[in-house]
Structure 1
Amino acid sequence: MTTLRIGTRASTLAIAQSTLVKDRLARATGLDVELVTVTSEGDTNRASLASLGGTGVFASALREALLADECDLLVHSLKDLPTAKHPGLTLGAIPARADARDALCARDGLTLDQLPEGARVGTGSPRRVAQLRSRRGDLEIVDIRGNIDSRLGRVGDDLDAVLLSAAGLDRIGRLAEATELLGLGFWPSAPGQGALALEVREGDSGPDLTRGLSKLDHRETRLIVTAEREVLAGLEAGCAAPIGATAVVDAGLLLLSATVYAPDGTARLTASHGVTLEPGSLAAQLAEVHDVASRVVDELLAGGAADLVPKGSIS
């Protein structure tokens, strides 16, 4: 293998993220690395994300291209990747996570609390909708789609503010347009937000790519995002379920907290648990992560999480 091909969506953010991985893989392997753009239904259909079947709509076309050997690996925003394993594919690496917070981008430098009554705030995320309604029930929430540039372009025009990922803004050089970064303690973001996922064909990476992926993989990030995503998997939840989750590692202790919101923001349920990560293999630590995520899921279900959200979005 003399050239590695990275499959990516063609949006500004996807290209920026894939270019970061491209440059790091080139340094790690000494090989030429090129980008191969793939168009998904989510890129061409302007319907709401929930009506299209969730964030997985962005991954399906990319995965088809990878399985057809049109590229050698994919770069995903991990928060957009379904939790269920795709047949024939595996996560070859999860690089160090960027900022996991949500960012408010508002006119006139306003923060969330400073927005006037009735202000129009754009987002396409059911989680963010529920959080906005919980925090500011007076706001008018507008369902929006489109890339970061088009969303930001509406601020000061037909919208007073939009909510976006801080990591996404940073990767395209527009983080300075955020007027407030929302703390994870009171505003948990999507499981895996801020992290990238490098997906490859199972058992078919080759020594050069395998070596490169091992250099990019970040163990702590893999552990914390796995914990967050296992809450989604355990609740059998997807795009229609407003769920935020945050995991951190501090002095060898992994702390996981997850919140399930009613779509209208009138109720929420939070569970938090921790586990000491014993020194050892990644597999052993992932087993500990699975245990703590299971405890969080069990507490949420026992507390009535399934009654908070639309039927079918949590089993």
Structure 2
Amino acid sequence: MYLIKRPGGYYSVRYLNPITGKLSLKSTGKKLKTEATQFVIDFKKSYQVTKQLPPESLKVLFFQFLKSVESKYAKKTNRSFKITFRQFFKFTGDINSTQLSKELFQEYQAHRLKVSIHTARRDFANLSIFSEYLKERGFITENFIKQIKKPRLPQRLPLFISEMQLNELLTISTNKDISDIIEFAFYTGLRQNELINLTFKDIDFEKRILILNNQTTLTKSRKVRSVPLCNAAYQIAINRTPVADSGFVFTYEQRQFKADHLSHAFKKLIRKGGLNDKLHFHSLRHSFASLLVQKGVSLFFVSKLLGHANISTTEIYSHLRQSDLFDAVKILNHVKEF
């Protein structure tokens, strides 16, 4: 095991990989030799542990993985991991870490694409996270998933409802708890999980803003997000009555909302109102974004309000800004014809 200086000035460690038996390179990420040397000292310690690792059952490693990430991800994501691996092990059997390969993952992806592209994409993401976990611990030398092209979804315009349609649904609704959470979702763009876990502590009534700080309410990205409250959302929040010591803003019959019950209640209203049956509770989030874009709010600010990590995710709403496209083409109206 020794240091070599790579083009660009960074040091790497040349070492014998205990799994493949081949010489491998690992970047230290350091340009100073003293720092790179310290990296080698630390790396040697983990290398000695890795060197003793025999090929291990992938099922055993998966349960270790689940335990290590349980607190890092939301319950829904942890359930998703379990679903993915249940299907993966059904396909592969109880193999060990050395039997993983690019070809195996390609075969599995082709198998899952027969179910649906959404299923294949979910499994692709989950297996990539697990593979990275195995790589970091020395059970595999590379993340084979990264060598495979992720299935692309055909672009579809998000379904949303207008303010007029929202008012129709609120008129039909006979339950104030359900009406309040639906209207609040429409005017804040919060995800379903964020709504049902929202507490009064998350709202600064003086500044008329709610802050999802990952202490009482977990955001999908795990990043802190602030959402100013418009008049409609503010009035709903200020008129809600805290239930016992729970502190939840939205409750149903004195208890915290259940996601399945809320989805079912919304779908029932959609059908009763004669709206598109493909609309679901998440469509309220799309409605919030669509309304803002149609009112002239930039995609940048919409992405911040929605908590998107990348503005490219928000660009699905760009079709609603057709006026921008017309303004761009108007330039040609001043081009002189010859």
Shared fold (TM-score, shorter chain, > 0.5): no
Using the size of structure 2 for normalisation, the TM-score is 0.23
Larger radius of gyration, structure 1 or 2? 2
More helix by share: 2
Using the size of structure 1 for normalisation, the TM-score is 0.24
Which protein, 1 or 2, shows the higher relative CO under an 8 Å CA cutoff with sep ≥ 6? 1
More strand by share: 1
